[in-house]
């Protein structure tokens, strides 16, 4: 769910160990590394596929929040299937094996998925803040059709933005250079602009809104505890609904926190790449980039561990009960305790 969005014009000129014939890895370690890659790819693809099927199949999951989760899971699934294998093979082999033309397509794909993922997580924060801050207005404005339109617009604008970004920086003009090192050329001005658009603005939005979300949730919890003895049955049902909203916000808060933990190290490292040019630092960039990719593996685990409704839906999928008649209307929503 990430990419080398840094100024790397020097990589073709500096001596490095990125030669396909220079890999001296022992056969045992070589096989172990490929086994680990295969395991990570399968876990990432299958985990996100479970989330995708859950949201698409069960009608109770057809909510604005879950459609944003669906969009994030789909981008994570694409990372697992189309990005991780090529990127990890490049790390193991210490060079790019798939040709210069595919390198351009690969980089565009990775840039696009990164941008979409960041803005999907930001959209989750915006949607949760609206749901808790003004539930009445949220129910009127944040309909499924509106959220789906926003999601489609996010994917389209992200693709257009990254095509322009790569084109302006000459990544489409010379696809034969450095065929054994699949790098991206991004000028200093473009790198700063891209950093603001894809990192600073959305991440600042996430953090500010989630601080407000948890402040609102805490305020609601205090009010419920203070008045619980005086509530009637109808009020208690509303209380359960509010508890469910807060619990969903908590789970998605964990998602955002883990996302930032995986995202921030890479972008901090990238900021200093223009000042520190050494093979050690390139290795650090690769490690933080790998952490960012692994976020796509972690996300479905968060739903499986912390979201009871997704736990129930995943069990139904894995036991093939979704093939039974009327399985789409099975009650998968867990009652808040």
Residue 4 has pLDDT above 50, yes or no: no
Per-residue model confidence as pLDDT tens digits over 210-260: 888 878 777 766 666 666 555 554 444 455 555 566 666 677 778 888 888
Per domain, the residue ranges of the chain are 20-325
CA separation (Å) from 66 to 17, 59, 86?
Answer: 45, 11, 30
**Interacting residues of 154 by C-beta distance below 8 A, sequence separation 6+:** 71, 116, 119, 120, 123
Query: When comparing pLDDT for 7 and 261, which is higher?
Result: 261
Separation of alpha carbons 97 and 77, rounded Å: 23
Residue 324 has pLDDT above 60, yes or no: yes
Per-residue model confidence as pLDDT tens digits over 45-81: 999 999 999 999 999 999 998 999 999 999 999 999 9
The conformational region for residue 6 under phi > 0 = left, psi -120 to 50 = alpha, else beta, is: beta
Closest CA to 172 of 104, 102, 96: 104
Separation of alpha carbons 40 and 36, rounded Å: 6
- DSSP secondary structure of 253-301: HHHHHHHHHHHHHHHHHHHTTTT--SHHHHHHHHHHHHHHHHHHHHHHH
The DSSP element (H or E) to which 228 belongs, if any, is none
Q: What's the pLDDT at 231?
A: 52
Alpha helices in the chain (DSSP H): 27-57, 64-78, 84-93, 100-133, 135-141, 144-168, 188-195, 201-227, 233-271, 279-306, 308-318
Separation of alpha carbons 69 and 137, rounded Å: 21
| Residue reference for tokens 């045992």 | 28
20-325 belongs to which CATH class? mainly alpha
Which pTM does this prediction carry? 0.84
Contact yes or no for 34/92 (Cβ under 8 A): yes
∠ CA 242-248-253, nearest 5°, is: 125
- Banded pLDDT at 38 (limits 50, 70, 90): very high
CA separation (Å) from 292 to 40, 223, 272, 326?
Answer: 13, 39, 17, 39
Q: What's the pLDDT at 182?
A: 79
Q: What is the mean pLDDT of residues 299-314?
A: 86
Per-residue model confidence as pLDDT tens digits over 95-151: 888 888 898 999 999 999 989 999 998 998 888 888 888 888 888 888 899 999 999
């Amino acid at each position: 769910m990430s990419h080398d969005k840094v100024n790397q014009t020097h990589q073709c000129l500096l001596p490095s160990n990125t030669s396909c014939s220079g890999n001296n890895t022992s056969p045992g370690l070589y096989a172990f590394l490929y086994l680990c890659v295969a395991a990570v790819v399968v876990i990432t693809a299958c985990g996100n596929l479970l989330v995708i099927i859950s949201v698409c199949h069960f009608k109770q999951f057809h909510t604005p929040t879950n459609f944003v989760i669906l969009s994030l899971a789909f981008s994570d699934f694409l990372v697992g299937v189309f990005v991780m294998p090529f990127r990890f093979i490049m790390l193991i082999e210490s060079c790019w094996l798939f040709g210069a033309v595919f390198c351009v397509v690969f980089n565009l794909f990775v840039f696009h998925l990164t941008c979409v993922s960041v803005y999907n997580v930001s959209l989750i924060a915006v949607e949760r803040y609206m749901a808790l801050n003004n539930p009445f207005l949220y129910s009127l404005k944040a309909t499924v059709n509106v959220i789906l339109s926003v999601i489609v617009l996010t994917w389209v604008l992200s693709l257009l933005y990254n095509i322009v970004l790569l084109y302006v920086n000459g990544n489409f003009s010379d696809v034969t250079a450095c065929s054994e090192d699949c790098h991206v050329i991004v000028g200093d001005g473009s790198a700063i602009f891209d950093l603001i658009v894809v990192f600073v603005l959305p991440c600042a939005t996430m953090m500010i809104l989630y601080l407000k979300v948890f402040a609102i949730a805490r305020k609601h919890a205090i009010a419920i505890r203070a008045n619980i003895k005086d509530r009637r049955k109808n009020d208690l049902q509303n209380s359960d609904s509010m508890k469910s909203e807060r619990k969903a916000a908590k789970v998605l808060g964990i998602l955002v926190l883990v996302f930032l933990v995986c995202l921030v190290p890479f972008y901090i490292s990238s900021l200093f790449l223009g000042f520190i040019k050494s093979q050690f630092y390139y290795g650090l960039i690769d490690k933080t980039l790998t952490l960012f990719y692994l976020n796509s593996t972690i996300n479905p685990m968060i739903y499986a561990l912390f979201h009871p409704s997704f736990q129930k839906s995943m069990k139904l999928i894995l036991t093939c009960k979704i093939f039974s008649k009327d399985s789409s209307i099975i009650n998968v929503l867990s009652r808040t305790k």
